[in-house]
């Protein structure tokens, strides 16, 4: 076995770089269990010394990215829409679902169309789920009275509440269906309407950092892909801890993780575009949103058919 080197530090380990001794790359990590598979490898021996990890709730990571306190982080899709000029999307990483997601619910005392004019409480914990709720209502022409508040338990909601958006642990743990006539899974509603996946969070890099250090961003990407692959192979180790922290049964926890997707393929990109277009069309956001991706410097452009895939298939 060769001496221990870090295979993902461009130009070798810090000791090798001589005058090029970099600051660590500052990387965010969502402090919720839903992201555990992506960080599994990084949390279990794969984190190189040149990655400095900060663990915080999603809203805090959004703010730290906006303040330039992190270089790379998951952010909510709604935060990307606000800061698209400063951030680039990292390829093939997201928190997404295709159909029911289990942890983003609209619980209601009335049929969907009956929410017009009624009070709908949006949890303050998620900007993206709140924007999705507003879009689903607005695109059906339903204009409720929207408020923001605390939605953790059914008892949190006053009697005049028509419906409430509940996310995360509270959505998974509380028996909402026992207390409300209608419980809609917003991942399922989105798929029914669009046929597309829904993307709750993206990994982004600050544009200025990516321009200065494309090879370092590429090395971070390597680390995330390998870490996520390690997580996919060790879900059975993640589940007991996750079930315990979420306070749900291991079986429900298993179903939950099988709902989540951490990739960002073309269907998910289409879902993201459709979401941003819908938000702009309903004037929930004030500007159209473009999807600007970080271009991995190791990946050449292959425009059109100039370099057909078939020709790459040869002995070398």
Residue list 200-239, contact with a copy of itself (CB under 8 A) = 213-216, 218-219, 221-222, 225-226, 228-230, 232-238
Binding region for a copy of itself (CB under 8 A) out of 85-93, 128-136, 159-167, 172-180: 85-93
At residue 243's C-alpha, the angle toward residues 239 and 247, to 5°, is 175
Q: Please enumerate in sequence order all residues whose Cβ is within 8 A of that of 175, keeping only pairs 6 or more positions apart, or say none.
A: none
Binding region for a copy of itself (CB under 8 A) out of 1-9, 69-77, 123-131, 271-279: 1-9
CB atoms within 10 A of CB 88: 23
Residue of 152, 33, 175, 164 lying closest to 105 (CA atoms): 164
Shortest spacing between CB 61 and a copy of itself, in angstroms: 12
Shortest spacing between CB 191 and a copy of itself, in angstroms: 13
Distance CA 159, CA 259 (A): 32
Stretch (H or E) spanning 1: none
Q: Which of residues 31-70 bind a copy of itself (CB under 8 A)?
A: 31, 33, 36, 39-41, 43-47, 52-55
Taking the least distance from each CB to a copy of itself, the nearer of 117 and 308 is 308
Taking the least distance from each CB to a copy of itself, the nearer of 98 and 275 is 98
Shortest spacing between CB 289 and a copy of itself, in angstroms: 18
Distance CA 52, CA 107 (A): 39
Q: Which of residues 88-117 bind a copy of itself (CB under 8 A)?
A: 91-93
Taking the least distance from each CB to a copy of itself, the nearer of 8 and 95 is 8
DSSP lists the bridge partners of residue 166 as 105
* Chain-centre distance for alpha carbon 202: 4
Number of residues that bind a copy of itself (CB under 8 A): 80
Region label for 314, one of left (φ > 0), alpha (ψ between -120 and 50) or beta (otherwise) = beta
Q: Please enumerate in sequence order all residues whose Cβ is within 8 A of that of 200, keeping only pairs 6 or more positions apart, or say none.
A: 76, 77, 94, 95, 96, 97, 101, 104, 126, 128, 129
Out of 63, 146, 267, 285, point to the residue binding a copy of itself (CB under 8 A).
267
Shortest spacing between CB 15 and a copy of itself, in angstroms: 12
Taking the least distance from each CB to a copy of itself, the nearer of 286 and 316 is 316
Binding region for a copy of itself (CB under 8 A) out of 29-37, 184-192, 201-209, 281-289: 29-37
Shortest spacing between CB 126 and a copy of itself, in angstroms: 19
Distance CA 252, CA 249 (A): 5
Shortest spacing between CB 273 and a copy of itself, in angstroms: 13
């Amino acid at each position: 076995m060769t001496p221990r080197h870090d295979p993902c530090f461009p130009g070798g380990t810090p000791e090798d770089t001589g005058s090029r001794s970099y600051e660590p790359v500052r990387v965010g990590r969502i402090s919720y269990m839903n992201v555990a598979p992506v960080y599994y490898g990084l949390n279990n021996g794969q984190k190189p010394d040149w990655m400095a990890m900060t663990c915080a709730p999603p809203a805090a990571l959004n703010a730290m990215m906006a303040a330039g306190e992190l270089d790379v982080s998951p952010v909510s899709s709604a935060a990307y829409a606000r800061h698209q000029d400063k951030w680039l999307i990292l390829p093939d990483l997201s928190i997404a679902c295709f159909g029911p997601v289990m942890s983003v619910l609209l619980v209601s005392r009335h049929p969907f169309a009956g929410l017009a004019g009624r009070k709908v409480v949006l949890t303050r914990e998620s900007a993206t789920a709140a924007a999705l709720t507003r879009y689903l209502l607005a695109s059906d022409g339903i204009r409720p009275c929207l408020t923001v508040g605390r939605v953790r338990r059914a008892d949190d909601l006053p009697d005049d509440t028509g419906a409430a958006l509940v996310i995360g642990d509270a959505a998974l743990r509380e028996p909402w269906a026992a207390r409300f006539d209608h419980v809609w899974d917003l991942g399922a509603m989105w798929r029914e309407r669009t046929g597309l996946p829904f993307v709750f969070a993206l990994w982004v890099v600050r544009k200025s950092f990516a321009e200065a250090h494309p090879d370092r961003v590429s090395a971070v990407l390597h680390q995330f892909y390998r870490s996520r692959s390690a997580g996919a192979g060790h879900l059975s180790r993640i589940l007991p801890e996750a079930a315990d922290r979420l306070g749900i049964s291991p079986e429900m926890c298993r179903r939950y993780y099988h709902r989540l997707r951490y990739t960002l393929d073309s269907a998910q990109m289409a879902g993201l575009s459709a979401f941003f277009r819908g938000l702009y069309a309903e004037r929930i956001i004030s500007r159209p949103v473009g999807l600007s991706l970080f271009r991995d410097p190791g990946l050449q452009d292959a425009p059109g058919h100039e370099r057909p895939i078939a020709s790459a298939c040869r002995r070398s």
